[in-house]
Structure 1
Amino acid sequence: MFPKINEVLYIQIASADEKEESKEYKSRIADVDDHSFLIEVPMQQGSSRLKRLFFGEELSISYITEDGVRHYFNTYVTGFEEDVVRLVRIRKPLPDDITKIQRRSFLRVHANLEMAIQGEDLTRAVGLTEDIGGGGLSIYSEPSFAIAEGQKLKCWLLIPYRNASIEHANFEAEVVRIKTLETGRLLCMLKFVQITDSERQKIIKFCFERQLDYRTK
């Protein structure tokens, strides 16, 4: 059962930052078409703080039907509309994608992609991603590269597609968490802070292709 116009949605946002990912926001459906829901800009629960969403950002959404049952689906931001107020366009799920069980499997895929990074002190390094999604990624880094939580990095990502074509995505990311592995290497969780819609779309396209590969194996 799809949520209807004026239905209240409860939203969590995919983030490499566990604290941010645990926050819940509230919104309302303003309009519906064959492929999308148009929703109001989400507001954080318990406050009047609005949450700015970005193209490609992944969302876990729940709503409560008239019989009191909470339903869940995962989706992502596909655009924006300027009406009397600003509205966010999100992908309408398939009926089979709606479940009574919460599934926090965002569109984040495991992938070892080459990425060049430049620190704020202009030092450069090359690393491999561990996973990637529309909102951020994780990358392995050697201890010799000075990196710290909160640091901003300029990044150049190499993206191979199924048709053998290769794209490059450029963006700026912030280090939100660093984990030291048993090998001594660092696993750094990054969130995108400056990325164009076209660059983000390259990453989302790769993620969809990779998920399709998983399903056909």
Structure 2
Amino acid sequence: MSYYLTEVQKLLPKVNQILHMNINSIDDEESRIEYKSRIADVTEDELVIEIPLNEKTGKLKKLYQGDELSTFFLGDGGVKYYFTTSVVGYREDVIRLVELRKPTLESITQIQRRNFLRVLAELEIAVKLSDQIQFIGVTDDVSGGGISFICDGQVPIGMNAAISCWILAPFKNGNIEHIPFSGEIVRVKQLESGKQLAMVKFVDIADRERQKLIRFCFERQMDFRKR
């Protein structure tokens, strides 16, 4: 078992490794620019990196909270390991550092894939776990491929649970859309506040509803950029 855990840990990015990244952006030209950064620290929930550098121009790239990044790092033998993460905060040290959401082992792959833009957003979400268990929560982040939400710590949600939901999403044109979907809970984390954070992947969502969420994410990203 210890050998297995050691091998598994090799798949996780480590301090001093270089992360190569692209910003998932509505701007196609920007999304093609590759940056690199050194990992300065790794905590239970975060990767802490230096300000990314554009190798072609030599300029540093300012990242905004909520930015989603498609990244890879080199493992043993030069194997590329890909994952998607997002900016969750900043840390002031000798230099300013950027805090990224730490990937789960399940989300790290050797296959590069275009991921949905994920943004931080507090939206009302109604969740149906069963005919007897229905409740209201608040999203932590949303994307076209899944969401995470915070709810009361006493709600009996667990890994692989099937849920049906709807989200209320406001748009710049003043419309508030009711977006329904079915999902599966892939991870649950207990928070210090006594609440719990549930991460959900979409199992069944109409394409028109997914497009609404994608549009919301891009509008949200533009708001972050203007701050």
2:59 aligned with 1:49, yes or no? yes
Greater mean alpha carbon deviation, residues 42-51 or residues 93-102:
42-51
Equivalence map 1:112-131=2 (5 Å): 113-117=169-173, 130-131=212-213
2:125 aligned with 1:93, yes or no? no
After superposition, give the CA deviation of every residue in 1:35-93 in whole Å (9 maximum; x if it has no partner).
11100000112221111011111011101113110000001011100000000000111
Point out which structure has higher relative CO (alpha carbons under 8 A, 6+ apart): 1
* 8 A contact 1:75–1:92 mirrored in 2: yes
Find the partner of 2:214 among 111, 132, 137. 132
Structure 1 segments unaligned to the other structure (5+ residues): 118-124, 138-170, 174-190, 196-217
Hey, which bits of structure 1, 4+ residues long, moved more than 3 A?
A: 110-114, 125-135
- Shift, 1:113, TM fit: 4.3
Alpha-carbon distance in 2 for matches of 1:3, 1:134? 31
Partner of 2:85: 75
* 8 A contact 1:41–1:88 mirrored in 2: yes
- When residues 40 and 172 of structure 1 are mapped into structure 2, their CA distance, relative to the original with a 3 A threshold, is closer
Partner of 1:193: 225
Alpha-carbon distance in 2 for matches of 1:69, 1:116? 43
Alpha-carbon distance in 2 for matches of 1:95, 1:2? 7
For the aligned residue pairs, the C-alpha RMSD in angstroms reads 2.7
Find the partner of 2:73 among 63, 67, 89. 63
SS at match of 2:72: strand
SS at match of 1:132: helix
TM-score by length of 1: 0.56
Alpha-carbon distance in 2 for matches of 1:112, 1:21? 28
Alpha-carbon distance in 2 for matches of 1:112, 1:75? 24
Letter in 1 for 2:226: Q
Number of residues of Structure 1 aligned to a counterpart in Structure 2: 138
Letter in 1 for 2:214: I
Alpha-carbon distance in 1 for matches of 2:212, 2:113? 21
Alpha-carbon distance in 2 for matches of 1:134, 1:42? 26
Equivalence map 1:4-15=2 (5 Å): 4-15=14-25
SS at match of 1:23: coil
Partner of 1:29: 39
Find the partner of 1:109 among 144, 148, 157. 144
- Shift, 1:4, TM fit: 1.2
- When residues 6 and 51 of structure 1 are mapped into structure 2, their CA distance, relative to the original with a 3 A threshold, is same
2:27 aligned with 1:17, yes or no? yes
Partner of 1:208: none
Alpha-carbon distance in 1 for matches of 2:108, 2:88? 19
- When residues 18 and 31 of structure 1 are mapped into structure 2, their CA distance, relative to the original with a 3 A threshold, is same
* 8 A contact 2:21–2:70 mirrored in 1: yes
